[in-house]
Amino acid sequence: MRDIFVLTEADLRKFISLNLDIVDVVERAFLALASGKVVMPPILSMDLPDVHGEVDVKTAYIPGFDGFAIKVSPGFFDNPKIGLPSLNGLMILFSAKTGLVDALMLDNGYLTDIRTAAAGAVAAKHLAPSRVDTAGVLGTGVQARLQIAAAHLVRPFSKVLVWGRNAENAASCARDIAASLSVEAVALADPAEVVRKSQLVVTTTPAREPVLKADWLHPGLHITAMGADQAGKNEIDPAAILAADLFACDRISQSETVGELQTARKAGFPADRVPELGEIIGESKTGRSKDDQVTICDLTGTGAQDTAIATYALMAAKKADIGTIIKA
């Protein structure tokens, strides 16, 4: 009989929130991934068209970490019709020494939300111009809010511009951002204006046709594209990727199969021009070299980030004495 820690979403919300500690945790996961020693198999993806659902499973082993996480992320898109969120999921943390289950994190996707936002902060920290006055966001969901909050941790801008397909949602998102970050936040009807007036833009949409056009690029701009995470998704005009001074991503193999490189490769973007973010952090590849450059970073989300945040969450839960123990 062993102790298995069970942490619910309510438990996790008590002691895990978006802050610079978490950004550090996720930054170390990027570094580890770039070291080449991480074992990260391709995402297991199951499409359930019958029930308008999909399930992804991600994992990664990071040498030196006590555990490795397996994360299951179901998305069932008819759920909102019955008052349930589309996205759910859990993480299982296994001992990296014995393979035994150490913890079950019934987080309903909360840890993913946090680590995804933290990854955006890592991208902004290493790639955005040194000074950002205005940040823009395309998309109006949970990640629109969290990505802006995360970016604000590393580039404390004073103004936020929001665009979404639904004007009401955009206004509501801008109000939430203004309230939580004490910044000026405005919803705009034209995504071109959002991009042209911002030094840092995050795209957070499930788009299958580009929502950000090459024409809108301007000197001194960084774009983080975090929406695409499935075959067929595409937020950034391939011409924008071809025109940028630098395109980076979290994992080339994922960006090519589920992220922005799907269309950019077809448009002729060369294979040798893609550093991974961890390589830029570790300075084995060059990131932004001048403030007036245009940089784009595609984040598809990695199992290494899940292992990093789950390991951190278990440690923090034990310290805070939160959770339920099951003998199994």
Summarize as ranges the residues that interact with a copy of itself (CB under 8 A): 4, 6, 8-10, 39, 41-48, 50-51, 53, 55, 57, 59, 61, 63, 68, 70, 72, 74-76, 79, 82, 84, 88, 90, 92, 94, 96-101, 104, 106, 108, 324, 326-328
Alpha helices in 155-289 (DSSP H): 167-181, 191-197, 238-243, 252-258, 261-266, 277-281
**If 0-12 CB within 10 Å is exposed, 13-18 middle and 19+ buried, where does residue 6 land?**
middle
Q: Nearest approach, Cβ of 63 to a copy of itself (angstroms)? A: 6
Here the tokens at position 321 are 């004495």
Least gap, CB of 91 to a copy of itself (angstroms):
11
> Residue holding tokens 């109006």?
140
- Tell me how far, at minimum, the Cβ of 141 lies from a copy of itself, in Å: 18
Least Å distance, CB 96 to a copy of itself, is 6
CB 304 within 8 A of CB 40: yes
Q: Which is nearer to a copy of itself, 49 or 270 (CB)?
A: 49
Question: Cα separation of 229 and 59, whole Å?
Answer: 15
- Residues 298, 228: contact at Cβ < 8 Å? yes
Q: Which residue bears the tokens 């659902």?
A: 53
| Geometric angle at alpha carbon 30, from 29 and 31, rounded to 5° | 90
At closest approach, how far in Å is the CB of 127 from a copy of itself? 30
Nearer to a copy of itself by Cβ, of 100 and 267: the residue is 100
Distance, in Å, from the CA atom of 301 to the CA atom of 281, rounded to the nearest integer, reads 17
Output 4 or 34, the one with its CB closest to a copy of itself: 4
Pick the closer one to a copy of itself by CB: 43 or 202: 43
Q: Tell me whether residue 51 or residue 271 sits nearer to a copy of itself (CB atom).
A: 51
